[in-house]
Amino acid sequence: MMMDSLRATLLITCPDQKGLVAAIAGFLAQHDANIVDFREHVSPDAQGFFARVVFDLSGLAIARDEVGPAFAPLARRFDMQWALYFSDQPKRMALLVSKYEHCLYDLLIRHKGGELPVTIPAIISNHPDMQPVAEFFKIPYFHVPSAPGGKAAQEAEILRLLAEVQVDFVVMARYMQILSAEFLGHYPHRVINIHHSFLPAFIGGKPYHQAYERGVKLIGATAHYATEELDEGPIIEQNVVRVTHAETVDDLIRMGRDIERIVLARAVHLHADNRILVSGRRTVTFS
């Protein structure tokens, strides 16, 4: 990547107050940073300010590793929670998978085609079935079955592997296990799950069967950050498709898998491209 194409992204959350936009823009102008995208949102109910600022590094008057320390006093002044990312440092994403391959294949194909700005150092599964897929895409595969010590021992081994390969976030690509609060505490708002229904409808197991029994006219999929409350985490992306009384449960499953692929891929891209800010149970997503 050429140096003049390098960019940085600032994600900012803080209480809404006068002068925020001017202060952020003024700081970047002071250091000769050229803003290429500035998006902000004010939440009327929470009085919160959310911003995503992208700026070019080519004409920067200070070294890139000095930007964060220079910004810190301004952040303290406005009580900001903030993070700074650089375009030449893609996030490291681990994939958790069980026996369903459709979401795994889709993410790996998109990654191979250059659509996802991530590196994938590991695929981890509680079954051996997807190892040939990992080998085809030349990605290390780790089989972590249920351990003699139970779920806690299994999760401990997965956490050890994630730390070893230094991942930034985790994607549950139809990983059919419920992760514990302790596990999720290691990656807060950094574990993305795909649920095969349009949440909050049909939480839990067999949502397509539930949808069929209710005779719904729309089915969907939801990508969200996993939390200790099952299928209750902040929603990142959703989509639906229309169905009729003529569809069987198998038809709903087949149609739903197409939506699952698209929704999960969009969520992964949004997270990897630093476009999401979490606000309580909601997300602010800059598309």
Active site residues: 231
CA-to-CA distance for 272 and 25, rounded, in angstroms? Answer: 24
Long-range contacts of 29-38 (CB under 8 A, 24+ apart): 31/60, 31/61, 31/62, 31/67, 31/70, 32/59, 32/60, 32/61, 33/8, 33/57, 33/59, 33/60, 33/67, 34/58, 34/59, 36/7
Strands across the sheet containing 218-225: 141-143, 118-125, 91-97, 169-172, 191-195, 218-225, 235-242
58: Cβ contacts below 8 Å, ≥ 6 apart: 3, 4, 5, 6, 34
Rg (CA), the chain: 21
Tokens standing for residue 231: 């299928």
- Crossing angle (nearest 10°) for helices 207-214 and 249-272: 130
